[in-house]
Amino acid sequence: MTNRLLTLLADRPAIFDGGYGWLLQERGLPAGECAESWNVDNPDAVARLHDEYAAAGAVIITTNTFGATEPRLAAHGLSGRAEEVNRAGAAIAREVADRHAVLVAGDIGPTGELLEPLGTLTAQQATALFAEQVRGLAAGGADLILIETMSDLGEASAAVAAAREVAPDLPVVVTMSFDTNLRTMMGVSPAAAVAALAAAGADAVGANCGRGPDEMRTIAEQLVAARPEGLLLVAQSNAGLPALEGDKFVYTVGPEAMGEHAVELRDLGIDVIGACCGSSPEHIGEMAAALAGR
């Protein structure tokens, strides 16, 4: 069976974009304010960032909807607006993507709630929350669904189930954050994630966020070793860890080093490469250039 994401890419370089939340704060989003609210309140700022990533070389741009599930939105006074916020986020990205002939990944992050037995949220409830997001993302024009920064396989699987139920034709990418001794906070290893999420129906599985390129290299090796036939692998590392400089936190890995990291990931066998927290359009530009064999 042909991988749906591979078909969608159609021989284009598989380069994701980078961080959003921290960059929006750099551009005026007040600390503590919901980044996703800008999809409806300040769409031009979101569109400019998408545009910069696409111009830098990203072939897949990510909607500003990471925290746009009902529980997270409700905490910011946006209860009942999940589908609206997701649809708006996808529509902003869609307009930019069409200008640059790139793809839109509809972004889904954790709900912020714990699933049973550690919490009270059931798998069925989680799937319903994610389904609301997927409906909005699909209506706004997403080309694929990106489920990212997951720690719990149960929650990740619930999101995959929602995507397959609501938008069965869209490819599904799932990345987990292996930031606790090369496992997720819930103890999931890269190999276990690959096996479970491939079985759940994901087209691509991998890692995002984390502690930086050095650890991502080790994680990538484990992902590649566990890959079943037909599955694409993804890696989107943070630009290192933030260090306090003066009165602000600055990420420690610059664009040129992330470019070298991108080539290293490709040589290890990773198919889809991007970046995460602390990365900017400048980082993605260096990564795209390095992967193109500058």
Amino acid letter, residue 50:
H
How many helices and strands, by DSSP H and E, does the chain display?
12, 9
Please tell me the distance from the alpha carbon of residue 271 to that of residue 294, in angstroms, as a whole number. 19
**Torsional sign, CA 38, 34, 139, 232:** positive
Q: Are strands 248-251 and 242-245 parallel, antiparallel or unpaired?
A: antiparallel
Please tell me the distance from the alpha carbon of residue 166 to that of residue 162, in angstroms, as a whole number. 6
Instruction: Residue 31: count other Cβ atoms within 10 Å of its Cβ.
Output: 5
- Looking at residue 252, the DSSP 8-state letter turns out to be S
The reply to whether 277 sits in an annotated binding site is yes
The reply to whether 276 sits in an annotated binding site is yes
Please tell me the distance from the alpha carbon of residue 148 to that of residue 210, in angstroms, as a whole number. 12
Helix extents (H) in 57-189: 70-74, 82-100, 123-140, 153-166
158 — phi, psi (to 5°)? Answer: -65, -40
Please tell me the distance from the alpha carbon of residue 172 to that of residue 203, in angstroms, as a whole number. 5
Please tell me the distance from the alpha carbon of residue 246 to that of residue 250, in angstroms, as a whole number. 10
Please tell me the distance from the alpha carbon of residue 229 to that of residue 53, in angstroms, as a whole number. 31
CB distance 5 to 201 below 8 Å: no
Chain-centre distance for alpha carbon 91: 17
Binding residue ranges for Zn(2+): 209, 276-277
